[in-house]
Structure 1
Amino acid sequence: MSETAGQLRLTGDRMTRAAIERAAGTASYDGLIAHFSLNVPPRYNMAADTVLRHSAGPLNDATALLCEEDDGTVRDLTYAQLDDASARVAALLHGHGIGKGDVIACYLGQGLEAALTYLAGLRLGAIIAPLSQLYGPETVDHALNDSGARLLVADAALWARIAERRPNFKQLNTVIIAGATAAAEAAEAGTVAFDQWRDLPPQSGCADTAAEDPALLLYTSGSTGLPKGILHAHRILRGYLASVSLFYELQMCEPRQVLWTASDWSWVAGIFNVMLTGWFFGHTVVASRARFDEKEAFALMQRFGVTHCFLTPTALKRMAGLRAPKADFPDLELRAIGTGGEPLPGAVLDWADRTLNVPINEFYGLTEVNHLIGNCRALYPIKPGSMGRAYPGHTMAVIDENGEMLPDGEEGEIVARSDDPTLFLGYWNQPQRTSAMRIGNWVRTGDFGCRDADGYFWYRGRNDDLIKSAGYRIGPAEIEDALVRHDAVAEAAVVGSPDPDRGQVVKAFIRPARGHSPNDALAKELQQHVKKTLAFYKYPREIEFVTDFKQTSTGKIDRKFLRKREAERKGGQSAR
């Protein structure tokens, strides 16, 4: 069956088959947007629509998960095996009192234990609260108490960081620890060994959940205070499928793809851009606990035949330091890369085209409402430096401070419509904060930019990132992009630094590329480069060279830390 752009209509499970994938190279972007619809069944469960569905079908013996352990050994599970194992873990959790609506905290790295905990919790109708390995004890303490988690599953090494705080966790009844020494430690520490699931009969069936029932509670850092809980429903997976298909170049319905990400599975990108989406389409998902290294990332992708991956711009910038990766890794099977979380420098796109012949499709969104805007080179051209175009199912606009839509070319706040398919249920126990995101029928992002006449969006910065200098409003993203395009710059972060005369001045933190020494001459050269590339008033009046950047738990450069440091350095002025 062939479908033209005018006939293209995506509804429910058909998204897994013909329409969007057969549209590659034939359907127009306008036709796709005009004829797109998304049907989410009223009763819906993410575990049932992924692993359980394939376990009962022709892909039951296909490889669902490849887990590379610290010692280099690899465990692989088929869809049938993953179904059975997660049913046994569900029995373990249920035996400790977990049922529909209960919160399970998951303090685990990539791997089998995380995969089984997520699936088991979803099968029970529980709410999974992933915790990043990068979180320190205070943040974990906050998340456990704020969520009211009744049960925690943790790696033994991660639990050791917070074990002495257990009396603080007032509602935490059970701690299940995983790892090579978990059984011995469990007996001594009053915890439960994760591997007990192997001896249990499987918990039959799957909870009858509504599409609107809560499923994930994601803790992410904001501009102020401790991380906030962002609650998502089971329906969120369906809201991701079209956009994932697009930034993976319309290839998700082709058989036997292999997906991987270096990102923590506690982050929405790891959960949906790779794990659950990969399983929805019946592909193989790769997990590895290895610490990120640019060469090892290529080696891993070659080792497992990775075809599609999600990598943060920070990771890609480091990988772009390898000038000829295909010479060292000639057997790469990589077909497309998705990226998001912060602006991607145009120089990295050029590098991927030149050295890998692989498209990088950037997308934009928030944990609260995601995959709003992005690229798909197979369907429409990429404009370097732009965010891309609104993805199917997402109605996007740029508004002024009164909520009125602005014409193309004018800068304002980027907003999504309040019926967006990936919209969260709300902030956990913070209804006023949830309401504050709304303005009329729009959901505020806090990000500023503009849309051009072709429908491409251009990012200027977050409300708290915008630099206000001598009456100018300056977005750091375009300055960072200009700097990274210079051969001497490997990474750049731009913030506003307090200044008594201008309010703020543009300051750039630079990690030099290999072979380039940090010195005054280079700083002046970079200042001139920005003046000529962008505008005189946008050049960084201050430049500081660094050897590395502090990162957030989601792999972004921690600009909040840099702003705070600048404020403290200049006498405690507000860091915004």
Structure 2
Amino acid sequence: MMGAGIAESDADGLRGFALSIPFHFNIGVDVCDRHAANPARANMPALIVEDARGQVQTITFARLKSGSDRMANVLRGLGIESGDRVAVYLSQRLETALALIAILKLGAVAVPLFPLFNGDGLGGRLTDSGAEVVVTDAEGAVRVMDLDLPTRPTVVSVDPDPPAGVRNLDDLMGRGSGYFRSVETMAEDPALLLYTSGTTGTPRGALLAHRALPAHWPGFGMAFPSPFLADELFWTPADWAWVGGLLSVLFPALSRGLPVLGCRGPRFDPEETLAMMSRHRVRSAFFPPTALRLLRQLPVAQVRASSPLRAVVAGGEPLGGALLDWGREALGLTINEVYGQTEANLVIGNGFPCHPVRPGSMGRVIPGHRVEIVDDEGRVLAPGELGEIAVARSDPSMFLGYWNNPEATAEKFRGEWMLTGDTGRKDSDGSFWFLGREDDVIISAGYRIGPGEVEDVLMRHPGVDQVAVVGIPDPERTEIVKAFVVPRDRGLLDNGTASGVLAQDLQQFARQRYGAHAYPRQVAFLGELPVSATGKIRRRDLRHLDPGQDL
């Protein structure tokens, strides 16, 4: 395992660094069981969880092991075996960690699902993954039971008094053994199925192997370079269903034997977030830049007086020089920036001791990875040339492929390179510079939103004839979703009141049937959509139209 922090003097020595991944490796065992077996670590805090009522639990590694063992036995009793998929549809809470670890120790595949997904956003992922069990809360159980699915999974609720047809976790845990012998998995075996949006209406499930965790160790150790002292505590507002929350914070911190705070409200509130971090003495945090922009709205003096942070990492969107300056002024530190995708994460970084910040740059390649700028044929370009950021197929963080989608997997590669869809260049000293997306995926508040999925939902509204969705710039969220709608009733085009009512209805429709993070924050009505000679929507033209209603 790589050292926790890397000094600037070590930079040259890292040039030939190669990450060694064991042949046999299991994420669940690594983040939990091996610490519980160590008398010096067994009774140390692993998770500190604050619920919506403000009640706090501290869970040791020993308790994390016994709880995940018991849950693994529950899942095995429900028929789950190696390779089966189990969905975890929960926010940051104890049962989320227990379920994820239990699934991995079983040799099964965990399918973390963002709790804001509902309707088609939820049903499409459950259907595609073929999840046989869904672990969720009471609200999630109702959502799952209301879905029209080809095959109904077993639904287990972590809350008491579940709805009809839903099993109660406490009842099942009470009957299960507190000891489970973990399945010996290879590092190359599948472990996680994380869904990432593309330009089509179908989400793609990126299948990650157990080696994805050790592949994150170098980036994690460099991104959080502060000494790992007895008061260390990690937190992120990124949900544990996303690669940033799961593999950039939760699992690598637990792997190091370091505690993680679980505390995630329905919305990010900067005042409450600052108070929460101060209350728990959060020392290291991972933020999407959107969250940092919201924190920046608070008075600098208030942030400076209240923040206990000594290491901050940002990822998911470009950070920008303004946030770097704010971090130094308000937080008294340099915000480290990381880059990657669900398919290959934590491969470039900026701001580390051996990768000093160059404002505007993404940083340099993190040791143990190989990233280049390539052309359309997958040929590596010379420094300064514009091309696509690409990660070597042999990279230890590389995904196994898209679930049940070999065509999409093949399209992701050019020869030995995985294409990120991001254009950029690399200068002579190895620094990368991001220039933009090559596809139409919308990056909003760190979430990747596929326009096709949102369009599919809106097309089901009876008032919609045609629709196209694009991302437009936003000072806080980087981009927001904007929908261009051709209404069935063309008379609405000349009726501002009626079109405003329809716009609000479409927003609510998308929130309920897809997710609150991806509904169109702007809606504009057109008589027709611009299309190419082959009939494809010209999204580029839509982005340059006059702004529509901002509702």
Using structure 1 for the length normalisation, give the TM-score: 0.77
> Using a 3 Å threshold, how does the CA distance of structure 1 residues 311 and 570 change in structure 2: closer, same or farther?
farther
Task: Tell me the amino acid that sits aligned with residue 7 of structure 2.
Answer: A
Unaligned 5+ segments in structure 1 are: 1-12, 468-482, 499-549
- TM-superposed CA distance for 1:333, in Å, is 2.3
Whether the 8 Å contact between 2:307 and 2:331 is mirrored in structure 1 is: no
Alpha-carbon distance between aligned partners in 2 of 1:201 and 1:233, rounded to the nearest angstrom: 28
Distance 1:492 1:143, change over 3 A: closer
Distance 2:438 2:481 in 1: 12
Q: Which moved more, 1:357-366 or 1:59-68?
A: 357-366
Counterpart in the other structure of 1:170: 151
Q: How does 1:149-298 map to 2 (within 5 A)?
A: 149-165=131-147, 168-170=149-151, 172=153, 174-179=154-159, 182=160, 184-186=161-163, 189-196=164-171, 197-249=173-225, 251=227, 253-290=228-265, 291-298=267-274
Inter-CA distance 461–561: structure 2 relative to 1 (3 Å threshold): farther
Moved more, 274-283 or 285-294: 285-294
Q: Distance in 1 between matches of 2:258 and 2:479?
A: 36
Map residues 156-555 of structure 1 onto 2, 5 A cutoff: 156-165=138-147, 168-170=149-151, 172=153, 174-179=154-159, 182=160, 184-186=161-163, 189-196=164-171, 197-249=173-225, 251=227, 253-290=228-265, 291-324=267-300, 326-327=301-302, 330-464=305-439, 493=479
Residue 24 (structure 1) aligns with: 7
Secondary structure class of the residue paired with 2:92: coil
Q: Quick one: distance in 2 between partners of 1:85 and 1:492?
A: 40
- TM-score, with normalisation over the residues of structure 2? 0.81
Indicate conservation of the 8 Å contact 2:275/2:306, yes or no: no
Q: Provide the residue aligned with 2:452 in structure 1.
A: none
- Gaps of at least 5 residues in structure 2 are 443-472, 485-509, 532-536, 541-551
| Partner secondary structure for residue 32 of structure 2 | helix
Tell me the alpha carbon deviations over residues 196-227 of structure 1, each in whole angstroms, 9 at most, x when there is no partner: 31442224221111111111011121122121
2:23 is aligned with 1:42: yes
The 1:75–1:376 alpha-carbon spacing in structure 2 relative to 1, beyond 3 Å, is same
Could you tell me which of 18, 43, 60 is aligned with 1:78? 60
Question: Which residues in structure 2 correspond to 1:86-125 (within 5 Å)?
Answer: 86-125=68-107
Closer/same/farther in 2, CA of residues 147 and 491 from structure 1, 3 Å limit: closer
Which residue identity lines up with residue 258 of structure 1 in the other structure? L
C-alpha separation in 2, matches of 1:212 and 1:228: 20
**What is the distance in 2 between the residues matched to 1:461 and 1:496?**
18
Q: How far is 1:554 from its partner?
A: 13
Identity of aligned residues (%): 38
Cα deviation for residue 493 of structure 1 reads 3.8
3-state SS of 2:361 partner = coil
Structure 2 counterpart SS, 1:222: coil
RCO comparison, higher one (Cα < 8 Å, 6+): 2
How far does the alpha carbon of each residue in 1:216-256 deviate from its partner, in whole angstroms, 9 at most, with x for none? 011121122121111011110000010011111254x5444
1: distance between equivalents of 2:111 and 2:425? 35
Deviations, residues 89-122 of structure 1 (Å, cap 9, x unaligned): 1111111111211110111111011011001111
| Aligned-residue CA RMSD (Å) | 2.8
- Indicate how the Cα distance of structure 1 residues 446 and 566 shifts in structure 2: closer, same or farther if over 3 A, else same: farther
Q: Distance in 2 between matches of 1:163 and 1:52?
A: 34
Task: Tell me: CA distance 1:377–1:227, structure 2 relative to 1, closer, same or farther (3 Å).
Answer: same
Secondary structure (helix, strand or coil) at the match of 2:383 reads: coil
Given that 1:219 and 1:230 are in contact with CA atoms closer than 8 Å, whether structure 2 keeps it comes out as yes
Deviation at 1:329, TM superposition (A): 6.5
